[in-house]
Amino acid sequence: MSDPEPRGAWLELPEVVSARRRTLTTLLVAQVLGTLGIGAAPSVGVLLAEQVTQSETWAGIARSSTTVGAALAAFPLGALAARWGRAGSLTLAWTVAALGTVLLVGAAQTGSTVLLVLGMLGTGAGTAAGLQSRFAATDLAEPAHRARSLALVVWIGTLGAVVGPNLGVPGEWVEERLGLAPLAGAFAIGAVLLAVTAAVVTLGLRPDPLLTAQRHTAVDAVPGGGPPVPGKAGVAAAMREVRASPAGTLALASLVLAHVAMVSVMTMTPVHLAHLGHGVGVVGLTISLHVLGMFALAPVVGAAADRFGQVPTIVAGQLVLMLAAAVNLLGASSTTAVATGLFLLGLGWSVVTVPASALLSQSVPARSRPLVQGTGDALMNAAAAVGAIVSGPLLAVADFPGLAVVSGLCVVPVLILVARARRALPQRR
């Protein structure tokens, strides 16, 4: 397994310590604002998609555009970060997300499917930015605290992500005051929040954390010094390093499949709840509980990974995902059971994603990390996009229990991979 980045004395330099604190503060503020800004997509966005397309299947495809957008943005953002730093890549991503929400306002006003899909694609860039932010928190972190820093950024998104799905309520007030179409108000609020997020990142990530780390580790990063050059060759080399590492392979598979399990069910839950006779209030509350499970206990998960090891924590996450699938399967007709299942689904995602993200980064050399991180996020969102696209037709054919079964099956390959690689993987990280 490859060594982590050098543990040089540079991490204790006063200017680096100051930059570390400023970086973490900026990321925490941006994560709250950004997740709040894109938070309406999983709830109000699905209802808007069904309203505009008048079809469950097409609503699922339109909603999956957010995941597709995240997948398309993830690698370019990683490559951009590797060359020009985190500030530039994150600012661009949050700006694109802001423009996407503006397009969703236009979709609500005009009933345009084209604007709907483009807007959903744009908000996906915000999802990609939120994912990259967890890695940005580790750029200047001390090795012993890397997982904790990552978990803190994941956790702080709880506030925005839990409130975001309920933007439909204040959005109605905005719609009345501005004369907007139904469901447009939530995205108007989101556009303002995302624009502010982009400004916070631009002003706050100075000095840039990744460029600072690269400058201090340039000699060790690549032969001859300097950061790696992004490109197809760099990606291929980075992924070869992942495949050569049992820990890296397990981490990547865990990230991808946990995301598929989560997105495939979450995508169609608002539609299923609508079929049960509920409106935007219940839908928003249910998605908020799901997001609470995703983010609220992240620091506890990070501490557990430090204490018991990242691989055992990933396995524990698989068990939570299986429990969520069972609850959704057996309680599909109960609103309370569905809400409980969605909370457990989010929790299982967190228990897998926090340790797997740290494990993936630590499994490759420093020079490869931005590209591996971006590629990993791209793969997990691309796979989840397929799950989101399929979830619409699957809901129509097999109903909500069918989605639950699919999410449960995502656990099987990871458990098989753990069993096969158990002797090669370290038990404590």
| Digit-coded pLDDT (tens) for 247-256 | 888 999 999 9
Domain annotation for the chain: domains and CATH numbers: 9-421 (1.20.1250.20)
Q: How far apart are the first and last CA of the chain?
A: 12
Peptide bond into 207 cis (omega under 30): yes
Task: Indicate if the pLDDT at residue 108 is higher than 50.
Answer: yes
- Give rounded-to-5 percent helix, strand, coil for the chain: 85, 0, 15
Percent of the chain clearing pLDDT 70 (strictly above): 88
DSSP 165: G
Of residues 35 and 199, the one with the higher pLDDT is 199
Q: What is the pTM of this model?
A: 0.77
Q: Tell me the DSSP string of 181-219.
A: PTTHHHHHHHHHHHHHHHHHHHHH--S-HHHHHHHHHHH
Q: What is the pLDDT of residues 369-407, one digit of tens each?
A: 788 888 888 888 788 777 777 887 888 888 888 889 989
Determine how many CB atoms are found less than 10 A away from the CB of residue 370: 31
The answer to whether residues 298 and 155 touch, using CB atoms and an 8 Å cutoff, is yes
| Model pLDDT, residue 267 | 79
* Residue 122 confidence (pLDDT) above 90: yes
Q: Which helix (H) or strand (E) holds 392?
A: helix 369-409
Query: Per-residue pLDDT tens for 124-145?
Result: 999 899 989 988 988 888 877 7
Q: Grade residue 56 by pLDDT with cuts at 50, 70 and 90.
A: low
Q: Phi/psi of residue 130, each to 5°?
A: -60, -40
| pLDDT of 81 strictly over 80 | yes
Contacts 24+ apart (CB under 8 A), 167-172: 167/36, 167/39, 167/40, 167/44, 168/40, 168/43, 168/44, 168/47, 168/280, 168/284, 169/280, 169/281, 169/284, 171/40, 171/44
Which 8-state DSSP code applies to residue 44? I
**pLDDT > 90: percent of the chain:** 33
